[in-house]
Each structure stands twice: as structure tokens, then as C-alpha cells.
Amino acid sequence: MDGVTVIGHPLVQHKLTIMRDKETSTAGFRQLLREIATLLCYEVTRDLELELVDIDTPLGPMQAPMLVGKKLVFASVLRAGNGLLEGMLDLVPAARVAHIGLYRDPKTLTAVEYYFKAPEDIASRLTIVVDPMLATANSAVAAVERLKERGAKDLRFVCLLAAPEGVERFRGAHPDVPIYTASIDSHLNEKGYIVPGLGDAGDRMYGTK
Ligand code: URA
């Protein structure tokens, strides 16, 4: 599908299967989400620009590649986005972080904003939006809209699971924002959950109900 990368790496798929299993503990789920996030981060940053710089190793001088160009912002859609955020920051600790607080109105399934904080210089950075579940895409679409209003111009969206309905809606609203996911599942149910999915990502991360 155009603009959508499904990350089929065996480690990602193996960890995802354990996360889907309803017997997996809260601690196990959180740990696996953090681990998968580093692998997703590896993929979404695969094309970052490098430049040769002069350094001295203990054995002498060399030219070696270092990142140049745009710095990163990770934008976490609260609260489940924080599970992916931790793993991303493990890999890119110097990145800046934006937080977008949205909750799903259980009746209308629309996104309602309660918190927004983003770095001042977001316009000059690559913004990687993280939210584990791209279900109806209402929150993802709203989060990206708010980030664009704040000046973000170069964005990518990373999730763990997507529903085909969510992918279609997100791509329709933000065709300039590519999606990275570990799986596109079968469909959304009448409550807006991804099937077969893994349940409520936030509840499974934090042991709430
Ligand atoms: N959010 C979740 O946490 N799980 C779903 O299946 C859909 C939205």
C-alpha cells in the first residue's frame, strides 16, 4: 500500500505475537513494547542523512559517518504513545519530545484534546508521531493536525498495529505523512477496537481496565 511500510522483521513479529497473547503480563507487555519500539525506530530512521567527519581513533585519524541534517522530535499521543516513546528515546536520547493528550469519546469515538506541548523549533525538525494503535485514526489525524498547526512540516507516523479503516482515513487526511507499522490487521469492531489486535494498549501497558 502506498505510503505504508509494514515491518516484517522476525524479531518484531515474534515480540508482537507475545504482546497479542492475552496471557502476557503487564510487565511483559510494557517491556516488549519498549523493545519493539527500538526496532521500529531503527526502520523509521533508516534514511537519515549522514556526513563524513574527521575523528581520531586510538590508532589514528579517519573519516567516519555521523548524523547531519534535521534533528528529531518524537511526538507521543498520550497515554499509550508513551510506551513506544521510551524505546525510541533509548535509541535517540537527544531527540526532543512533544506530548499530545487526546482521549476517545466512547460514544462518538472522536478525539478530544486535553493537553498539548511541543518544542518551539518543531518546524526545523523531523517529527515522528508515535501511537501503538491506528484504529479509527481519529486521534492520529487530530494529533498530526495539531502538530502541523504548530509548524511541523516533515512528519512520519509509527504504530504497532493498524486497521485497514484507520490506514485509509489517515492517508486520506494526511497523504504527506508515511505510516510505519508492524501489522495491518483484519478490521475494526463496532467499538472501534482492532481485530484480532491485542486489546486496549493503554490498559495492557498499565494494568488498568
Ligand atoms: N486502541 C487500543 O488500545 N486498542 C484498539 O484495538 C483500538 C484502539
Ligand 1 midpoint to CA 200 (Å): 5
d(CA 95, CA 125): 10
Q: Which residue has the cell 505523512?
A: 177
Ligand 1 midpoint to CA 17 (Å): 16
* Domains of the chain (ranges, CATH numbers): 4-206 (3.40.50.2020)
Active site annotation includes 154: no
CB under 8 Å, gap of 24 or more: what pairs does 143-149 form? 143/75, 143/77, 143/100, 143/102, 143/111, 144/170, 144/173, 144/174, 144/177, 145/173, 146/100, 146/113, 146/116, 147/75, 147/98, 147/100, 147/118, 147/122
ipTM of the complex: 0.95
SS3 of residue 163 by DSSP: coil
β-sheet bridge partners, residue 127: 73, 155
pLDDT mean for each 10 residues of the chain (209 residues): 94 98 97 97 96 98 94 95 95 96 82 93 97 95 96 98 98 98 97 96 94
Ligand 1 pocket, 200 CB below 6 A? yes
SS3 of residue 64 by DSSP: strand
β-sheet bridge partners, residue 162: 134, 184
- The reported pLDDT for the residue numbered 55 is 98
Ligand 1 pocket, 133 CB below 6 A? yes
Ligand 1, atom nearest to 203 Cα: 3
Instruction: State whether the Cα torsion 149-43-170-86 is positive or negative.
Output: negative
Among 134, 144, 115, residue whose Cα is nearest residue 181: 134
pTM for this entry: 0.94
- The reported pLDDT for the residue numbered 112 is 87
Give 140's contacts (C-beta < 8 A, 6+ positions apart): 77, 129, 131, 134, 157, 159, 166, 170
